[in-house]
Structure 1
């Protein structure tokens, strides 16, 4: 076993011991945070502390402070850990962050702020965070997102904004993200998206827009991202998808359009997807829509027959009309044409 593999195994064991201690009610106090030391540095985990742990070991590389009632952090909370690479602050009650919180940790790669009470981020928060790759802001209370809040994130590859209260996004929000591969905007309140949202140097592989209030998917939103492989649009209010909405998405392996208001789709919509061009490796889901199974769906019917082996919820993807076909599976109707 390589030294790196051995170290990873030891750290996994450490986290397992911590979770068992937590399950048994042996939650460490801020002064009794569990510390695991390895050749690459210390990992510190504090569960349900009443104050932020201080001082931190000078060689701390991983820090978890979670499941607490903390609403604020000291501005100098990380000053003693210049080599910090991962910071996990999930499941607290943080309402705001100090603008210079991350200045002492320029090598930080992962920041997890899941399940807090953040309504905004201070401009300049990431001014020293050029190495940050993963930013998770899931399940906070963000209603807006300003481009200035994200300035400085030159290496960002993973951005999770799901489960907030976002109603709109500012134009040019992602214009400077060259390495962004995963963008999760699911479970917000977005009714439309800026036309330039996906323009710029970013090269997305995964886009999650499920659980919003989108009504229309236009011609040009997705076209700047020909390398997109996973697209999630379920649980919106989509009633209209433009004929060229998927044009050029020849790498798409997963498409979820389930639980929308689609009754028909334009001819040519599926030309770039699946067979005969290529296989969709992960599949697609069109269930939960009020499909009207008339001649306007002939193009979709042909595509379904060619790609049936990648179709999820085959028996649950049914016609809502006309009356003679109500309740019949789309695939069965397609096969009879």
Structure 2
């Protein structure tokens, strides 16, 4: 991959020289007389200005490769234009942009990745992505979006990764996501979501990672995970969940990683993990669990199967009495996969207050 050099195909003068020299993104040679070149250039400026786009590509780093151009722009004042027609990777980040021209991507029909993080975007045009039907990655992290327009993804059947982390979403609609059959990674973390609609990911049959962490969720609809066929990772950490019931997780028997830490869980029903035969990582740390019901752990870890990545039960107010006998047995069998052993301690009764939960579990076996 090499940067544009004077005389190379697609080179645009950065200063000095003939500023009216024609620019051809496809690198095809053209013989234009200076007068015609000047006219075409001025016409291009008029057209881009009419659409609210400035000709400021000189503020960006443009790299070429056989696969296409990579354009990287940081701290620009306006969306860059004109973009090379062979652009496959476009990054316009840390620029405080508040809006994008509706036709900003019209020239970039080969675009595969679009990174717009750390701007101040408040809304998007419903037709923004229509010209880039092959787009695979869209990163909108750290903007000010409160919603998405219906139809934004109507031409985005190839989209693989959608990141909406750290915006200002208070609600989310399943209709926004309808038709994203190739989507594998959806990140809605660090927003202001309080409730989720039934069937949120119903059309996302290829989804493997769903991140809903660090929102304001207190409950989850039973049908939340209906749709994906092989969800692998589920992030629910950093919410306000108080109870984990049966039904939602039963829809995803191939789930491997489950983060429930930093919630307010006081209850997990006995059958909550019943279908999770492939779970390799479970984080229940920093909740309000004092006990767990018999049968909860039967499908996890040994003797059923070894958890590959481990589990964390630390920073819960465990009451270490006979009600934890089922958990004690499970801990003894799976202690080799236990994280934060020194931070997993008894809150009560008073005689055991401060003792490590694992130590109490091992004493119970004597």
TM-score normalised according to structure 2 size: 0.84
- Displaced runs of 4+ in structure 1, greater than 4 A? none
1:21 corresponds in structure 2 to: none
Distance in 2 (alpha carbons) for counterparts of 1:203 and 1:196: 15
1:15 corresponds in structure 2 to: none
2:158 corresponds in structure 1 to: 131
Number of residue pairs aligned between Structure 1 and Structure 2: 312
Q: Displacement, 1:30?
A: 4.5
1:122 corresponds in structure 2 to: 149
2:250 corresponds in structure 1 to: 223
Alignment of 1:5-44 (within 5 A): 30-44=57-71
Q: Displacement, 1:201?
A: 4.0
Alignment of 1:1-337 (within 5 A): 30-337=57-364
Q: Is the 8 A contact 1:30 1:51 kept in 2?
A: no
Distance in 2 (alpha carbons) for counterparts of 1:41 and 1:187: 37
Q: Displacement, 1:80?
A: 0.7
When structure 1 is superposed on structure 2, of 152-161 and 132-141 the one drifting more is: 152-161
2:21 corresponds in structure 1 to: none
Q: Is the 8 A contact 1:30 1:50 kept in 2?
A: no
- Tell me which structure has the larger Cα radius of gyration: 2
Q: Deviations over 1:31-80 (max 9, x none)?
A: 33101100000000000110000010000000000001111000000001
Unaligned runs of 5+ residues in structure 2 are: 4-55
Distance in 2 (alpha carbons) for counterparts of 1:151 and 1:89: 22
Q: Is the 8 A contact 2:318 2:346 kept in 1?
A: yes
Q: Is the 8 A contact 2:59 2:76 kept in 1?
A: no
Q: Is the 8 A contact 2:57 2:82 kept in 1?
A: no
Q: Displacement, 1:199?
A: 1.8
Aligned to 2:351, the other structure's residue is in SS state: helix
Aligned to 2:231, the other structure's residue is in SS state: coil
Q: Is the 8 A contact 1:30 1:49 kept in 2?
A: no
When structure 1 is superposed on structure 2, of 198-207 and 132-141 the one drifting more is: 198-207
